Structure 1
């Protein structure tokens, strides 16, 4: 509790002093000071992944027309992806500029979440269907998937809720009302149900999995953690066994999502139907070998690989760059995730630790769903590979996730600066007090000795 109050008081004093000292500074100068505290290795890895994405999206779509009728424009998809990247980098600047307090403000988070839940409800009437799910709003020049933003915001909301349950926060009387907590839980539940009704099972699994692991990593008892992990493991094994035993029935059901559940366990049983995409992915991997055929030289994307630029872009990467290329990309991606986890472990704030852990877990689960689907380990769900797959909404939200990570890192570095400044101040005060005591004591002895001489 003392550590929590000390951090809150330090942060409050720092923010007040910073606001007073920066009142006359221009926006650029204030932004420059925050940019100096960024974690640049994370930004560099993200930028490398984005550059790879632009190259591979171009390679995957160079023979693909946007409407399926006209002649293909080899740069069309890449430019759309590039536009999302530009918006994302502008978003990083904007999100860094926002006061850190807004990310902890549960009223603000609930307000944004309410708007997003309303958008998810409107999708039932005006949504655009893609990949078997009614998940997109058409903006004319582009489309937007609100559920992508929900997965980002849900991490912030749950991180705030989990922080509110910490003992030192409760004892410090910093908790918000039960009504606010219940409303946050209601919004999270409603948004997940609305996404499930689209139906977008991959996004539901991603959000629920992220929130589930965020709750498990709290200081719960061993029995509770064991029960939660065991339940998740049994559920995964149960789905796998059920899909194998009831594959024929699942394929016959008039549902795109259920058909995928029935075909992933044995795609060669349905080579001309729901197993076609997965078999095409295997074919692309087999052609790539160790070093690949060369960027732009892949053939599977031209004839038999559906979604070779979105869900199955990893198969095209495997064909053109081989196992070495896949290992390089996945190595960079998992290095990025590991670095975020490392910051979460080092964080001294419950909220920042929860946010960093949640963002890293979200990227990890999304990567696992995509890679597992392409490899045939889990059912195909239409989830993109972070920073690599084509998709404006996915790319934008992935970059915004890193922006949130950077905001947490900046605040963490601020706290280190505050602690160092307080330590130096206390040390200087102690030295001054000691020096003053020495002079006062020495002066008294000198006067006393002179009186004795007289």
Structure 2
């Protein structure tokens, strides 16, 4: 065991690990700064959200450790894949019948775990889509060359994707639908299938996805196209025309960003978090960062997130293992797409969707699953380093 740990930590990806730790701790500080007024208005202690996120991070550390120490090859084992699919579909069915959160957020996306905590299965679905798609394509490639695969060869991943999209769309979590769809496409693109087959696969997903969303709109369109969501679309087109309504949050975000300038007004000195910016500790936390730490703070966060995406893409582009390539491409696309959607809503590039900023925003489900994903990424990075060392004759197991 001692020899194994020595070998393990000798190949550990420390830059990626410390970048992940920095983002988590930076997010914790900003959650404390941005949530004090919100906590007091809600009748809690000023550090209520800070303490809850601190507990989330402690649990997330064990999640990270599990992902880092469990060999990533296990995710392609048939029994593991069946377990993952069974777990996420069971959780999605649970949300469908017993989900909570609609009155608070507009989306019935959470499971109440015996009154102790809530969990959002759609966050876990993002990771399981990556692992299941990668495992399914990898197993198929062992029997059929990847270039010869057709959509008919991978019918099970398509069915799983359809079911997950159906349940997530039913929760009216549009942001999660976009992220999960983007992740699936990225994993397929990294699988090595022919371009013609890829576009055919993409077209099938698009048609099926549009059909699912259309069906759900017919069934519960009044619950999805609420005045709040329609207002967000109107606010996206011209937020200043709806300054007192749906455009209020976007405009307050603009004010926060503009007030920060280059260096910001100082940590803890934000004005917009004092009741002007709704829920500043979640999807609008970057506005508080921009106001308090300025452009410098925004660049630091984006550079740290970009490093994770860049590191994952480098592994995906250089590895000879198709399973590692698909998993790392999926994780990179997940963080990149979610960051874009969050910042796009904040900056007015796209309508608001309520998507959190990875590692920074308040939320237990998000940090728990993202931490596991980073653990997997570090595990893959470690094995890649080992393979290179073995190839050069520097190390043996």
What's the counterpart of residue 15 of structure 1? none
Q: Rg bigger for which structure?
A: 1
- Tell me how far apart the structure 2 counterparts of residues 414 and 146 of structure 1 sit (CA, whole Å): 34
Residue 41 of structure 1 pairs with residue 18 of structure 2: no
| Backbone CA RMSD of aligned residues | 3.1
* 2:359 pairs with 1:359: no
Whether 1:145 and 2:120 are equivalent positions in the alignment is yes
Q: CA-to-partner distance for each residue in 1:311-356, whole Å, 9 max, x for gaps? A: 0000011110111111121112112211111111111101101111
Show the 5 A alignment for 1:417-436: 417-421=389-393
State the distance in 1 between where 2:84 and 2:240 align.
Answer: 45
Q: Choose between structure 1 and 2 for higher RCO, CA contacts under 8 A separated by at least 6 residues.
A: 2
* Equivalent position of 1:428 in the other structure: none
Match of 1:131 among 105, 108, 115: 105
* Matched residue, 2:175: 202
Q: Return 31-40 or 348-357, whichever deviates more.
A: 31-40
- Note the C-alpha offset of 1:221: 4.9
Aligned ranges 1:180-191 → 2 under 5 Å = 181-191=154-164
Q: CA deviation at 1:215?
A: 2.0
Q: Is the 8 A contact 1:370 1:383 kept in 2?
A: yes
Q: Separation in 2 of the partners of 1:343 and 1:353?
A: 7
Normalised TM-score (structure 2) = 0.85
User: Deviations 1:138-164 (Å, cap 9, x if unpaired)?
Assistant: 232321101101101110111123324
Work out which of the residue numbers 310, 319, 331 in structure 1 matches 2:282: 310
Q: CA deviation at 1:198?
A: 0.5
Structure 1 residue 122: deviation in Å? 1.5
2:267 is the counterpart of 1:295 = yes
**Residues 288, 323 of structure 1: 8 Å contact kept:** yes
Pair 59,194 (structure 1): closer, same or farther in 2 beyond 3 Å:
same
- Quickly say closer, same or farther: Cα 1:391–1:253, change in 2 above 3 A: closer
Deviations 1:11-37 (A, max 9, x none): xxxxxxxxxxxxxx4xx6544532332
Q: What are the residue-to-residue correspondences of 1:207-226 with 2, within 5 Å?
A: 207-221=180-194
Work out the CA distance in 2 between the residues paired with 1:294 and 1:231. Answer: 50
Corresponding residue of 1:383: 355
Match of 2:77 in 1: 105
Name the SS of the counterpart of 2:111 in structure 1.
strand
Choose which of 318, 325, 350 in structure 2 pairs with 1:346.
318
Whether the 8 Å contact between 1:106 and 1:157 is mirrored in structure 2 is: no
Query: Is this contact kept in 1: 2:69–2:375, CA < 8 A?
Result: no
Q: Which residue of 2 aligns with 1:95?
A: 67
Q: Count how many residue pairs are aligned between Structure 1 and Structure 2.
A: 374
Distance 1:222 1:153 in 2: 25
Query: Where does residue 193 of structure 1 map in the other structure?
Result: 166
Aligned partner of 2:211 in structure 1 is none
Residue 159 of structure 1 aligns to a residue whose secondary structure is helix
Query: Match of 2:234, SS?
Result: helix
Indicate the SS of the match to 1:85. Answer: helix
Equivalent of 1:155 in 130, 134, 138: 130
Once the two structures are superposed, what CA deviation does each residue of 1:158-212 show, in whole Å capped at 9, x if it has no partner? Answer: 112332454xx32599xxxx99954443222101110000110000000101211
2:245 counterpart of 1:270 = no
Residue of structure 2 equivalent to 1:448 = none
* Aligned partner of residue 65 in structure 1, secondary structure: helix
Q: How many Å apart are 1:137 and its aligned residue? A: 1.2
**CA distance change for structure 1 residues 217 and 33 in 2, over 3 Å: closer, same or farther?**
closer
Q: Name the structure 1 match of 2:210.
A: none
In the aligned structure 2, how far is the partner of 1:423 from the partner of 1:93?
Answer: 24
Partner of 1:308, secondary structure, is coil
Contact residue 64 and residue 73 of structure 1 kept, 8 A: no
Distance of aligned partners of 1:423 and 1:81 in 2 relative to their CA distance in 1, 3 Å threshold = closer
- The Cα shift of 1:223 comes to 5.8
Task: Show structure 2 runs of 5+ residues with no match.
Answer: 206-221
- Residues 185/226 of structure 1: CA separation in 2 closer, same or farther (3 Å cut): closer
Evaluate the alpha carbon distance shift between residue 65 and residue 110 of structure 1 in structure 2; reply closer, same or farther with a 3 A threshold.
Answer: same
1:225-258 Cα distance to aligned partner (Å, 9 max, x none): 68999999xxxxxxxxxxxxxxxxx9x9535434
Give the alignment's TM-score, normalised by structure 1.
Answer: 0.75
Separation in 2 of the partners of 1:172 and 1:128? Answer: 45
Q: 1:213 to 1:171 in 2, by over 3 A?
A: closer
Aligned to 2:381: 409
